[in-house]
Amino acid sequence: MFEHLTSDHDKAAIHLPNDPYEVHGMQAGFQLPRAIWRTMFALYGIFFVGIAAATGRDTATIFMLVVSLLYTLMYFVTAGILHAQKGEEHASPLDRSDGVLQTWTGPMDRHTVAAQILAVPAGFAFLGVTFLVIRASAGF
């Protein structure tokens, strides 16, 4: 209806190749390398194994651990489903050795992104291992 009001240049600018709102072509995506996702999954796995081995002695505790594990799996499965639904994505800029991720607070390199994203999962893994060590030193 208003096509005559916009030029071809304006139409091209609307759909940038890395436009996060693009729904038909290539999309920006999560822009995190697979290694970060896998590391996060592994760290939560270490947490749950440590906590289960240290505290999983009665039905109530096991039930709470299973519920928590299901919530964690729901987080990763939801991300996987959204990733599959979106279609093809641009490669992560962090996959390049000199790549940076553009964030709201400025550009971040691979190590900074990994440290920021993996700090909480690493803390949980440390907590799980700590509980296991305490339980083992006190005697199973």
Q: What percent of the chain has pLDDT over 70?
A: 75
pLDDT score, position 66: 95
Mean pLDDT of 55-80: 93
Tens-place pLDDT, residues 98-134: 788 888 888 888 889 999 999 999 999 999 999 999 9
* Number of domains, the chain: 1
Residue 37 sits in which domain range?
3-138
- pTM recorded for the entire structure: 0.73
SS3 annotation, the chain: CCHHHCCHHHHHHHCCCCCCCCCCCCECCCCCCHHHHHHHHHHHHHHHHHHHHHHCCCHHHHHHHHHHHHHHHHHHHHHHHHHHHHCCECCCHHHCCCCEEEECCEEEEHHHHHHHHHHHHHHHHHHHHHHHHHHHHHCC
